[in-house]
Structure 1
Amino acid sequence: VIPCIGLNGKCNKRDTVSYSGRHLLKSYISTALKREEEVVHVLGFEACEKEFRDGLDRTNAQRLHFHNAYSDPLGWTGNSAFTVHQFTLEDVSTLIKQTPQAKAVTLVIDSLSWILRHHDPAAVCQRLQALKKGGAVRTVIVLVHTDMHQRGTVGSIRHLATSVVTVAPGTRGLGAVAKTTRRTKSGKLMQDEETFSINEDLSVTIHSKLSHPGHTHVNTDETEVDPTANLTFNLRLSDTERQAKEKLALPFVFSKEKKSALLQPGPGSGRILYEPDANDDYDQEDPDDDLDI
């Protein structure tokens, strides 16, 4: 699960009411802070700074910049460091540029559900894409509570991300289950499923891998409907019908026998003979001399 943060793109963490993904989110942040060239910016809507920093390595704390949107997310008091209405390309870029420049900047949004409830989902997707393309950040990690949004909204965020991690409680109390879907540069989808647990130092322990990664066609949240299921006629051919179709001679396809018969002159075949007379003004060097060009 941890290599997801190293991708050059966006990582979308999805959780539900049955299991919170914040612990795994903090594990990603801890891994990023262990890289000396990495600087992490957090837009915190759902936890205060003290709670968010709890458990993180203090030696790397100076490279974690927490922008408090928890105390006043809607800006009612006018004293908030960041509000949900400030989620624009200009405001987020300004926050990042206020800190010393680093080789790699990771933007963490905890959680994107706050923003999706107060902004048009299409505009949110455009701003996330613009942040990545603009070069201000290298990696964007967002936490999304899928129970709070419609399938179409979750699907749009999922399609935008290069990696999606869906977490759920494990069976028989054995940790949790993470289903990871990664999109390669060639466009193929890699799917993996693992059971894991978060240690006190926020490291991840993988207990078992439920499926081996491979090229798979990942189904979306919506069930795929067969458009030919309720038709009054049959669009499929049986084996007997298919064999009869293959033996059928099409009218515009000539066999070798028919081609040779047409090319062989038979009895009574006609020919056109033309003999120019004296009135024909025909120039061998310029056949089009009689045309008004």
Structure 2
Amino acid sequence: MLLDVIQCVESGRFVIIQDSVQCCGRQLLQSFMCAALKREEVVHVLAFDVAEEDLRVPSDSGCAQRLCFHDGYTDPLGWNDSPPLTVLQFSPGEIHALLSRSEHPKPVTLVIDSLSWVLRHHPPAVVCQCLQELRRGGAVRSIVALLHSDLHQQGIVGSLCHLATAIVTVAPALRGHHTVAKTTRRTRSGRVTQEEECFIIKEDLTVTVQKQTHHPGQRDTEQEEPQADPAAHLTFNLRLSEAEKEAKDKLSLPFVFSQEKKSALLQPRPGAGQIIYEPDANDDFDQEDPDDDLDV
């Protein structure tokens, strides 16, 4: 599923890469950038966490022309004169103005490194509203953002993930030099699928999936411990033999009436009693005055 998310070309998608101090997801973010460039898309990078040199990806001259960096790392708060990009410019209008400077009339992939820096200077509601407007604006085909999930409260992380069409959470593997990616994907119909995979990133930033650690709907029989039988060491028998089961099925329960018994009970018998009811004056019930029989 991870490779499908990287190669996905649907419009309006929003991918969040969640990492932590134990496992950095920036290299996977660069893999998304390389995949978008290979699809001949224009990639705009809002760089707040690291310098442009740390986000550069190997590409030819044609891809380099379609890779646009916006430096928000050198002067993120605009203390100097005419900064290239500040975190205060994180708004739909300002971002659309940055994208309009590109001369390539091709689909745009917006890469944000990272949303954690933006959340330090903007309320979560403002950030969510901005991302939602960028997805619906039309100029941006897809958004890929890095989020340091261990720096924020779970409610803030959950609000952002609720907007995403795919969430990739990276963590170190228990063995080897692999990385575990837990991918959650939401389709347009609302169906949610999850999958865990071990992957490695090569020098050219291509992703190779080594194995699946978990697949929805399947149980891991190798790691499942056999359950103990609670009736194994009892002094009495809780199970029935085949003969006992056959005798039990043939037994007639006392509270279950047979068809013959039902017919005999329902047939009228001679000399049976009858109930005769004769209404009196007090039984004259007035629908308009239900309390007419009360002495009030």
TM-score normalised over the length of structure 1: 0.71
Query: How far did residue 269 of structure 1 move?
Result: 8.1
Cα distance in structure 2, aligned partners of 1:102 and 1:210: 41
Cα distance in structure 2, aligned partners of 1:52 and 1:196: 20
* 1:165-244 mapped onto 2 (5 Å cutoff): 165-213=168-216
1:111 aligns with 2:124: no
User: Identity of counterpart residues, as a percentage?
Assistant: 50
Could you say what secondary structure the match of 2:144 adopts? Answer: strand
Cα distance in structure 2, aligned partners of 1:120 and 1:180: 27
Could you say what secondary structure the match of 1:171 adopts? Answer: coil
Shift in CA distance, 77/193, structure 1 to aligned 2, threshold 3 Å:
same
Cα distance in structure 2, aligned partners of 1:118 and 1:184: 31
Query: How far did residue 185 of structure 1 move?
Result: 1.3
* 1:20-169 mapped onto 2 (5 Å cutoff): 20-36=24-40, 38-169=41-172
Residue identity opposite 2:15 in structure 1: C
C-alpha contact (below 8 Å) 1:176/1:195 kept by paired residues: yes
Cα deviation digits, residues 198-252 of structure 1 (max 9, x gap): 000000111101122569xxxxxxxxxxxxxxxxxxxxxxxxxxxxxxxxxxxxx
Shift in CA distance, 191/69, structure 1 to aligned 2, threshold 3 Å:
same
C-alpha contact (below 8 Å) 1:56/1:202 kept by paired residues: no
Shift in CA distance, 51/75, structure 1 to aligned 2, threshold 3 Å:
same
Cα distance in structure 1, aligned partners of 2:84 and 2:216: 42
Cα distance in structure 2, aligned partners of 1:96 and 1:132: 14
1:4 aligns with 2:27: no
Query: How far did residue 152 of structure 1 move?
Result: 0.8
Cα deviation digits, residues 245-293 of structure 1 (max 9, x gap): xxxxxxxxxxxx9xxxxxxxx88689xxxxxxxxxxxxxxxxxxxxxxx
* 1:265-276 mapped onto 2 (5 Å cutoff): none
C-alpha contact (below 8 Å) 2:16/2:146 kept by paired residues: yes
Query: How far did residue 3 of structure 1 move?
Result: 2.3
C-alpha contact (below 8 Å) 2:34/2:57 kept by paired residues: no
**Match 1:16 to one of 10, 16, 20:** 20
Could you say what secondary structure the match of 2:215 adopts? Answer: strand
Q: Structure 2: state its 5+ residue gaps.
A: 219-265, 267-275, 281-296
Query: How far did residue 147 of structure 1 move?
Result: 1.3
Q: Structure 1: state its 5+ residue gaps.
A: 216-256, 258-265, 271-293
Residue identity opposite 1:30 in structure 2: C
Shift in CA distance, 35/151, structure 1 to aligned 2, threshold 3 Å:
same
| RMSD (CA atoms) | 2.1
Could you say what secondary structure the match of 1:172 adopts? Answer: coil
Query: How far did residue 70 of structure 1 move?
Result: 1.0
Q: How many residues of Structure 1 are paired with residues of Structure 2 in the alignment?
A: 221
Cα distance in structure 2, aligned partners of 1:161 and 1:104: 19
Cα distance in structure 1, aligned partners of 2:36 and 2:86: 25
Shift in CA distance, 101/268, structure 1 to aligned 2, threshold 3 Å:
farther
C-alpha contact (below 8 Å) 1:29/1:40 kept by paired residues: yes
Could you say what secondary structure the match of 1:138 adopts? Answer: strand
C-alpha contact (below 8 Å) 1:26/1:202 kept by paired residues: yes
Cα distance in structure 1, aligned partners of 2:209 and 2:69: 29
Cα deviation digits, residues 107-138 of structure 1 (max 9, x gap): 00001111001000001000000001111201
Cα distance in structure 2, aligned partners of 1:214 and 1:129: 32
TM-score normalised over the length of structure 2: 0.70
Residue identity opposite 1:63 in structure 2: R
